[in-house]
Amino acid sequence: MIVRDRPGLFQVIFTIRGSILQRIYPQIILVMALSCVVVWAHWEMPSLVPVFNGAPFALLGVALSIFLGFRNSACYDRWWEARKHWGQLVATCRDLSRQSLLLDERGAEASRKRREMLHLTIAFTHALVLGWTTPIAAAVFAYTFFGLDALGDELEEPFGSLPNDLPIRAIAVNIEISIRDALGDEERPKPLAPSNYVLL
């Protein structure tokens, strides 16, 4: 982000540092050189470079300028959205450090944990700068899509022995218990218990 005093018109035109001029000057020089060649060829060899009606080029220029205007507007919206998110992150981190001051009043252990938490917050913000969120975000999206796909495959066949299948044996035992209870039968089976957190 460029930070400087508000420049005047002359400074805006001729400022190099932070300007896009450094990126586009080869294209500008190429267009200027090509224009010089065309003008020279038109003067020296008019039959080779005849006069053209400029109306089609003017229409093309208007269409291109509208397209570039929309593109720049969308790019600026994206830039501003990122700026708002980082501004919110600054405010949240300041709130966290301010609110965690209460931990200092609860003893040395709580104060140590506060410092540890705030150092992790600092590490998190620097990790965002380094772009470490890209692999994390990719992993979250991959988990979402691949997980939904795999879960759909498991739920497609509900009558199996996979962890996400219906516990039909346990349901059948519960039905038997309910019916024997309605009959007043003393001999009732025990409900099936889950094994390793899985009920089949």
68-98 residue pLDDT tens: 888 888 888 888 898 898 899 899 999 988 8
**Other CB atoms within 10 Å distance of the CB of residue 93:** 15
pLDDT at position 4 is 54
- Do the beta carbons of residue 103 and residue 110 sit within 8 Å? yes
Look at 105-114, 125-134, 181-190 and tell me which has the smallest mean pLDDT. Answer: 125-134
> pLDDT grade, residue 16 (50/70/90)?
low
Mean pLDDT of 137-155: 72
Q: Residue 125: is its pLDDT beyond 60? A: yes
DSSP conformation letters of the chain = ----PPP-HHHHHH--TT-THHHHHHHHHHHHHHHHHHHHHHHH-TTTS----SHHHHHHHHHHHHHHHHHHHHHHHHHHHHHHHHHHHHHHHHHHHHHGGGGGGG-HHHHHHHHHHHHHHHHHHHHHHTTTHHHHHHHHHHHHHHHHHHHHHHHH--SSSSTTS--HHHHHHHHHHHHHHHHT-S--PPPPPPBTTB--
Q: Residue 2: is its pLDDT beyond 70? A: no
> pLDDT grade, residue 11 (50/70/90)?
low
Q: What phi and psi values does residue 171 have, to the nearest 5 degrees?
A: -65, -40
- pTM for this structure? 0.46
DSSP-assigned beta bridge partners for residue 195: 198
Give tens-digit pLDDT for 158-200: 777 777 778 888 888 888 888 888 877 888 888 888 887 778 7
Q: Residue 28: is its pLDDT beyond 60? A: yes
Q: What is the mean pLDDT of the chain?
A: 79
Look at 8-12, 28-32, 69-73 and tell me which has the smallest mean pLDDT. Answer: 8-12
